[in-house]
Amino acid sequence: MSTAPETPVVPDTADTTAEPDPSRRLLHRLILPLEATPDIVPLYIEQTSARSGANTASFGLGGDDAAPETPSRSEHAGASTAQVDVSELSERHSVRVPAHQMRSFGTYFNAFPASYWRRWTPVRAVRLSIVTSGRGQIVVYRSSARGSIQRQEFAQVSGTTRTEFDLPLTAFGDGGWYWFDVYAGSRAFTVASAEWTADAALARTTGSISIAMTTMNKVEYCLENIRTIEQNPALREVLDTMYVVDQGSDRLNDHAEELAPLQESLGDQLTIIEQGNIGGSGGFSRGMYEATQAERSTYVVNCDDDIVIEPESLLRLVTFADYATRPTIVGAHMFDLNNRSVLHTFGEVVDPWRIQPALPHGEGALGHDFGLRPLRSTPWLHRRADVDYNGWWMCLIPTEAVREIGLSLPVFIKWDDAEYGLRAKKAGYPTVSLPGAGVWHVSWADKDDLVGWQAYFHERNRIITALLHSQYPRGGRVVRESQFMDVKHLISMQYYTEAGRLLAQRDALRGPGSLHEEIGTKLPEIRGLARDFDDSTAKKDAEDFPEIHVDRPPHRGRPYYEPQRSTLPVWTVKTLVKQLAKPVTERSERNPQATIPHQDARWWRLAKYDSALVSNAEGTQVAWYKRDPRRVREMLGQAVSTHVELHRRWPELRQQFRDAASELTSFEAWEKTFRDNPAPVRPGKDDATSAGAAGTDTKGSPSA
């Protein structure tokens, strides 16, 4: 309706039952929650009275003869809003708006991400078709990359009506969204459907997907995700098969009562593969391998097991990838499973100087809560975020890209998704983190994987990624920053973590040759180190340890503060002298000096103690950290030695890893790794002939 008058009145004679136009293809449609709970409602629909100035006013729609008035719109950024009653949200694609109220679909799942379609596809115009029943008003809005909001179109409707708006995408070069709001008159007003479509001829292909889901001992999550897919007809139309790569000891096939009806319904759309635990990179590589070798699917979608899926997200990923100007990796965003209106990030890049995850443009926030600051009130969410990679909580990868650049690096966990995105980018396959496609996953805020056994994989794989992809001599800041981290862990009495980091550095110095060979044995090796360290021995409660005894209180009762940059060199020297030479008091060996919550366990605070009880990130366990000058001297010496060698040998190691990269990620190398790591036989459950073959749809060995 780009040529409509200022206040068009759409009659009730429109045909709302017309057959779909074959020349157009659905890109995006109105959806409401599968399970409407208050914590996720703000992601789908809003009652935005605080920002629109429209609380209960009828906007001149009190009677059939009332003159229509265009609703005013004022912006009150960050203003709290009354939430839509979940009892209204009983349908998946329609909503009934009570009399004299308004509803906005300028939300994460229902606004149309126009700038992404403008940048990555040939689409330059979309059609918004809305079917309504009753008397009301529809207002279409658009935003700019700066987050400024403009009214694009307006229509007053009555009866049962299909209203269409043809909307250009030409002005969305740097950012911006489309969305619509509706306003009810003196009676309830129903939005029966809303669809965004484009010229079908512009799609590069019409693709299908295989899903690769890696799981380990998370049967309930996995079964629920299989069930979600099984119950979605539209999704099953584009699904070739779902590969569930089971690497656990509690396996899906042990739960035949729950699994059997799903397997019967899905048939060959569900394939369960059992293999040994070779980490996320091994599980995802197996799914990518099988999907590519089968030569059925246009795309493979890597998915974590412990997620809650919004099934429409998968359809949006496929559609966007079909329209992309060139084969493109398309990923979903991650929301906090335990705080479901909170977005992890809007996109991620790899800082080239530090080889660390970073936010695009340096803008945005970690943990943005749409329940507190909706999309329209948050300007940085309107700028398009161009990324280097997408997390493999849900990420679509063209199978032609897999054939060209290979499978994941054999790194078990950590950095596999980021490295793959960087590798794909070099080969001409960009990555898009697509707004409107999201899953819920446990937030990193509830974990601390930089401490404990996972520290090994963080350290080694970051170094490997830098060797493969850093454009700076000797990796930019990577080696120096790694040394700083070693010092921080040592003065924090985190010796088990540091032991893992030192092993990671030594393994990186060994070169790429053992990555495949050790992928199934490295984790037990790292966990085996834990028995030698007090800081890795945790108990459930602080009362399980001796009582706290304070040898000497803080100076004048003042709390410990992080040293300022100007005083940090002197502070570091004094602290290292204490850590290396000052004996530990006998009393601190018998009694901890403090109880420190996880959020307060910062390096500059822990450095002040000889011993302390420290809780973990989840708040479920407590460990007794004890200062050990002998360990500090030994480990600091090793850290200095490994970093000197890393710096000296960087050009040599860089060449070794880059020369080996194609072989490391090749189908042939991974085939051998799959064969060398079969699902282990479990005494009392399996025997040598039945392991990995629990059902006709279960695979053990790779297909080749």
Active site residues: 417
> CA 210 to CA 243: how far, in whole Å?
7
Sign of the alpha-carbon torsion through 517, 518, 519, 521: positive
Start-end of H helices in 450-567: 454-469, 478-491, 495-509, 515-518, 522-528
Q: Which residue has the tokens 């690769």?
A: 212
DSSP designation for 527: H
Q: State both tokens at 264.
A: 């019967």
Q: At what angle do helices 629-664 and 568-581 cross, to 10 degrees?
A: 110
Residue length of the chain: 704
The two tokens of residue 403 are: 């054939």
Phi/psi zone of residue 237: left (φ > 0), alpha (ψ -120 to 50 degrees), beta? Answer: alpha
Residue with tokens 């996109």: 347
Question: What is the SS3 assignment for 602?
Answer: coil
486-489 long-range contacts, Cβ below 8 Å, gap at least 24? 486/635, 486/636, 486/639, 486/643, 487/572, 487/576, 487/636, 487/639, 488/603, 489/451, 489/455, 489/603
What number of CA atoms fall less than 13 Å from residue 176's CA on the CB side? 22
DSSP codes, 383-395: B----SB--TTEE
Q: Name, in order, each residue with C-beta under 8 angstroms of 537's C-beta and a sequence gap of 6 or more.
A: 530, 623, 624
Beta strands in 543-662 (DSSP E): 595-596, 611-615, 622-626
For the chain, the straight-line distance linking the first and the last C-alpha, in angstroms and rounded, comes to 55
Q: How far apart are CA 455 and CA 501, in angstroms?
A: 6
CA dist 318 and 7 (Å) reads: 37
DSSP H/E element including 437:
strand 431-441
Nearest by Cα to 548 from 632, 607, 609: 609
Report the distance separating Cα 364 and Cα 346, nearest Å.
7
Half-sphere exposure of 153 (CA within 13 A, CB side): 24
Helix (H, G, I), strand (E, B) or coil at 99: coil
Residues 6+ apart with CB under 8 A from 585: 551, 610
Q: Is 183 exposed, middle or buried (0-12, 13-18, 19+ CB in 10 A)?
A: buried
Are the C-beta atoms of residues 363 and 383 closer than 8 Å to each other?
A: yes
- Residue 669 in contact with residue 236, Cβ under 8 Å? no
Q: How far apart are CA 592 and CA 264, in angstroms?
A: 58
- CA–CA distances in Å: residue 98 to residues 60, 134, 135, 374: 16, 11, 12, 22
